[in-house]
Amino acid sequence: MDDRNLIYDWNERDAPAQPRRIVDLDDETLRDGLQSASVSDPPIEAKLALVHLMVSLGIRSADIGLPGAGKPTFESALAIAREIATHHLPINANCAARTVVADIEPIATVSQMAGIPVEASLFIGSSPVRRLVEKWEVDHMVRMVEKAVRFAVDHDLPVMFVTEDTTRADPAVLRALYLAAIGCGARRICLADTVGHATPEGTRSLVRWARELVRESGEDVKIDWHGHNDRGLALINALVALETGVDRAHGTALGTGERSGNTPMELLLINLRMLGVIDNDLSRLSEYCELVSRTYCIPMAYNHPVVGADAFRTSTGVHASAVLKATRIGKGWLADRVYSSVPAAWVGRSQVIEIGPMSGSSNVIHWLETRGYPARPDAVSAILDAAKQSPRLLSEEEILGILQGCPH
């Protein structure tokens, strides 16, 4: 069944036509995601499994750490890079580094030992507040950038140059830093909303400015967007940045990251597919998020979109009745959309109907029939009566107990 015949999409009514183009995603769960104060650093086996899940979701690049931070992070980055090389995984590795040689040297070592290119993501603070705190003069910063980028390029590392706090930095300083990096060989620049300051309109303005700067440089330079969620705008900002012309957006599983976290990768993926920008197979999306939740020791909110326990779960009678009617028509496509904008089947899940105080008889009949129990009127009535008197959903044990108490 074609959804265009049944769903009128106001999202497309006045939307300007966008030329189709390839957009990339950079998964930073293994680096930025670990900067959250509430997570645990997972064992290397979990990190390797996570990289394989990224590949299954069509994610084409991953930040595998900051190897210059010490022996554990170096060994972790090297193990991940070797996993990518050994299994010929179709995912590009990158590593973060300050614009200092001491941070870049370990990236070159990882690249050489693993035998694969590793992009060096060289970052420096750019906003006036950061420059004041660090007591940096712009000329000094430009020299730091030039030295770092040249060193990375001389060691055969692709370079992405990142200005931290880009969304609060003035254009003159950004211009000086970006052009210095591009002039020394950086072929990717990153606009970083490091403290989640940007609004969608601010994002659009910055991306347009950056595209003009790249055009002015005359070089073939890609643009990235890296966003944080301090104002709850990370997802929409990433979508606006991609719409406005960035080549790659960053995200982390479950949005884990420093303070309020980063752009949630799972929501970026599902929205890009719903917008028709990508057609990635997302059937393992829940597995990807569950692995991070379990190994990073962070709970997944029950109402988290798409992957939360309640994302496709209802106990409300009206909603359940509509889903069941759609199912009885014999249209799984319809049942998956009548009360859901996101098709559960896309992410390997299905609609779940529970029994609670807001349920109707349809809920009970469905619950019994899907588990192989006859939906006898007396049993349906007894279970529904119990549900109406309960302050919460009935558990399976409670429902079976009521069923057993009904005369046969």
Number of folded domains that form the chain: 2
26 within a domain of the structure (yes/no):
yes
| pLDDT for the residue 4 | 54
Q: 69 and 111 share a domain?
A: yes
Return the C-alpha torsion angle 324, 329, 330, 331, nearest 10.
Answer: -80
pTM beyond 0.85, yes or no: yes
> Which structural domain range is residue 332 located in?
313-405
Instruction: Name the band, by pLDDT with cuts 50, 70 and 90, for residue 303.
Output: very high
Same domain, 245 and 342: no
Residue 3 pLDDT class (50, 70, 90 cuts):
low
Cite the beta strand spans of 101-186 per DSSP E: 118-125, 159-164
pLDDT (mean) for 367-376:
88
Section 211-230 average pLDDT: 97
For Cα atoms 172, 177, 179, give the angle at the middle one, nearest 5 degrees: 95
Confidence of residue 1 (pLDDT cuts 50, 70, 90): very low
Same domain for 363 and 271: no
Q: Which amino acid type is present at position 184?
A: C
Pair 195, 60 in one domain: yes
pLDDT of residue 156: 97
pLDDT at res. 14? 72
- Among left, alpha and beta (phi > 0; psi -120 to 50; other), residue 16 is beta
In a domain, 7, yes or no: no
Nearest to 130 by CA among 178, 179, 172, 169: 169
**Whether pLDDT at 2 is above 70:** no
Residue 332 and residue 269 share a domain = no
Pick the closest to residue 242 from 282, 278, 290 (CA basis). Answer: 278
**Could you tell me if 244 and 369 lie in one domain?**
no
pLDDT at 329: 80
Secondary structure (3-state) at 332: helix
Q: What whole-number percentage of the chain has pLDDT above 90? A: 76
**Domain closes at, from 241, 266, 295:** 295
Check whether 164 has a pLDDT greater than 60: yes
Contact between 141 and 177 (Cβ < 8 Å): yes
pLDDT of residue 20: 57
Domain end point (choices 267, 295, 323): 295
Res. 213: pLDDT tops 60:
yes
Residue 183 domain flag: yes
Quick one: pLDDT at residue 17?
A: 61
Residues β-bridged to residue 228? 262
Q: What average pLDDT does range 97-116 have in this prediction? A: 97
- Res 19: pLDDT: 52
Which CATH number covers residue 196? 3.20.20.70
C-alpha triplet 122, 116, 36: angle, nearest 5°: 45
Which of 218, 214, 273, 265 has the alpha carbon at shortest distance from 238?
265
Residues 88, 234, single domain; the answer is yes
Q: What is the DSSP letter of 301?
A: P
135 has a pLDDT exceeding 70: yes
**Statement: residue 338 has pLDDT above 90:** no
Q: Is residue 110 domain-shared with residue 146, that is, in the same domain?
A: yes
- 255-294 confidence digits (pLDDT tens): 999 999 999 999 999 999 999 899 999 999 999 999 999 9
Q: Would you state the torsion angle of the CA atoms of residues 339, 344, 345, 349, taken in this order, to the nearest 10 degrees?
A: -130
Judge if 57 and 199 occupy the same domain. yes
pLDDT in tens, 85-105: 999 999 999 999 999 999 999
Task: Write down the pLDDT at residue 18.
Answer: 60
How far are the Cα atoms of 177, 256, 287, 371 from residue 290, in angstroms, in the given order?
40, 13, 5, 26
Identify whether 322 is part of a domain.
Answer: yes
